[in-house]
């Protein structure tokens, strides 16, 4: 078996909270607390969850923008731990990112040509000024923008067009995996559909893998091959898209999926309503992290933290329920 394109094992990321006069770290945010998954070449793994579940932190560590507190991340079989900056740069050429807000992720004083040319030049993908410009022009056309966009500034474009520029920039160095951190969440419905379609087309054309981090469950169901559901820094359930949406096993997945409003007035869903709010990741509940809001929690959930176990073909969940048929 060959190594997956991206492998994440037992990833932990804690942030210290600095308080008081001398800025001593008195508390710790358990942003990500033991997360494992992999992404194969050409596939889309979606990470879904509510704010504060740690999904964006996972993206940051995968991109090498934040060091892991513990655990291992590998890209193309190479571990990040102890990697020299030159080697990390080699990885980063194949590992790109598209963020939520396309305006704050581009330098407003740079022209579109220079924004997209930057990775081409940094990674020495293309040599010579004219060759770079030609490549930028090709990329612009590929993402559905006119080639004349070259000489314009980001503010001259709408949100959807700006997101296309960001995608062109991510494609430029020849990425194998793009981390999409809420990449379509800020866009209007009709524009969102355009960008979703563009990502699907590019994936088919270039065999791109996507780590699609999102809270938009409808888009995730549309785009992902596999889905990981996170809650308070842990993966509650992970599995193939069809299985997970057809038969969500974890009580949190069930609640999360059923909470999504359906654009069909003839459907009246009975939903297991979650009461209360997300507990603080500074002091996550002991036992199963979900037990404070889980309608099915029993004694064991309060003391014993469940681990991921298979519950069907290509599906795993971390829950004490239904132990027998697992």
Partner 1 sequence: MAALLEVENLRTHFATRNGVVRAVDGLSFHVDAGETLAIVGESGCGKSVTSLSIMGLVDQPPARIAGQIRLDGRDLVALPEAEMRHLRGNEIGMIFQEPMTSLNPLLTIGHQIAEPVMLHQGLDRAAAWARALDMLTLVGIPAPERRLRDYPHQLSGGMRQRAMIAMALACNPKILVADEPTTALDVTIQAQIIALMRDLQQRTGSAIILITHDLGVVAEMAARVVVMYAGRKVEEADVATIFADPRHPYTRGLLGAVPRPGTGGACHRLAEIPGSVPSLIKPLVGCAFAGRCDRAADICHRAAPAWRQIAPGHGAACHFAGAA
Q: What does the binding site for partner 1 look like in residue numbers (CB under 8 A)? A: 44, 50-51, 158-161, 188-194, 196-197, 200, 204, 215, 217-219, 221-225, 241, 245, 255-267, 271, 273-275, 277-278
Give the residue with the Cβ less far from partner 1, 221 or 305: 221
Give the residue with the Cβ less far from partner 1, 3 or 262: 262
**Separation CA 159–CA 145 (nearest Å):** 13
**Separation CA 321–CA 288 (nearest Å):** 12
| 288: Cβ contacts below 8 Å, ≥ 6 apart | 294, 297, 301, 302, 304, 305, 306, 318, 319, 320
Closest contact distance (angstroms) between CB of 220 and partner 1 is: 9
Give the residue with the Cβ less far from partner 1, 124 or 263: 263
Provide the 3-class DSSP secondary structure of residue 211.
strand
Sign of the Cα torsion 311, 51, 176, 77 reads: negative
Closest contact distance (angstroms) between CB of 258 and partner 1 is: 8
Residue found under tokens 């793009």: 178
Tokens found for residue 43: 């596939």
Closest contact distance (angstroms) between CB of 144 and partner 1 is: 9
Number of other CB atoms surrounding residue 80 within 10 Å: 17
* Contact between 274 and 251 (Cβ < 8 Å): no
Give the residue with the Cβ less far from partner 1, 50 or 305: 50
Give the residue with the Cβ less far from partner 1, 76 or 285: 285
Closest contact distance (angstroms) between CB of 257 and partner 1 is: 8
Closest contact distance (angstroms) between CB of 159 and partner 1 is: 8
Give the residue with the Cβ less far from partner 1, 204 or 307: 204
Closest contact distance (angstroms) between CB of 110 and partner 1 is: 22
Number of other CB atoms surrounding residue 209 within 10 Å: 25
Selection from 49, 89, 95, 55 nearest residue 210 by Cα: 95
């Amino acid at each position: 078996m060959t190594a997956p394109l991206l492998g994440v094992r037992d990833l932990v990321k804690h942030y210290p909270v600095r308080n008081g006069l001398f800025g001593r770290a008195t508390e710790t945010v358990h942003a990500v607390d033991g997360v494992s998954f992999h992404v194969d070449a050409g596939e889309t793994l979606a990470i879904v969850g509510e704010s504060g579940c740690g999904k964006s932190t996972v993206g940051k560590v995968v991109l090498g923008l934040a060091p892991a507190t513990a655990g291992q991340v590998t890209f193309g079989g190479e571990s990040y731990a102890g990697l020299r900056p030159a080697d990390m740069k080699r990885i980063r050429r194949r590992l790109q990112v598209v963020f939520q807000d396309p305006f704050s992720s581009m330098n407003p004083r740079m022209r579109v040509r220079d924004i997209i040319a930057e990775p081409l030049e940094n990674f020495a993908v293309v040599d010579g000024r004219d060759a770079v410009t030609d490549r930028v022009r090709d990329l612009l056309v590929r993402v559905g923008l006119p080639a004349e966009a070259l000489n314009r500034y980001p503010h001259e474009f709408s949100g959807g067009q700006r997101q296309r520029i960001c995608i062109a920039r991510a494609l430029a160095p020849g990425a194998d995996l793009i981390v999409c951190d809420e990449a379509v969440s800020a866009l209007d419905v009709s524009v969102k559909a355009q960008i979703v379609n563009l990502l699907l087309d590019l994936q088919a054309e270039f065999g791109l893998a996507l780590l699609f981090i999102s809270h938009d469950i409808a888009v995730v169901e549309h785009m992902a091959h596999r889905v990981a559901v996170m809650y308070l820094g842990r993966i509650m359930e992970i599995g193939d898209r069809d299985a997970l949406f057809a038969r969500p096993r974890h009580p949190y997945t069930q609640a999360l999926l059923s909470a999504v409003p359906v654009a069909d007035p003839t459907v009246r869903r009975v939903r297991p309503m979650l009461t209360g709010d997300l507990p603080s990741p500074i002091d996550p509940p002991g036992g199963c992290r979900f037990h404070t809001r889980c309608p099915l929690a029993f004694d064991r959930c309060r003391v014993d933290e469940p681990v991921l176990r298979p519950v069907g073909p290509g599906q795993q969940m971390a829950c004490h329920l239904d132990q027998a048929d697992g």
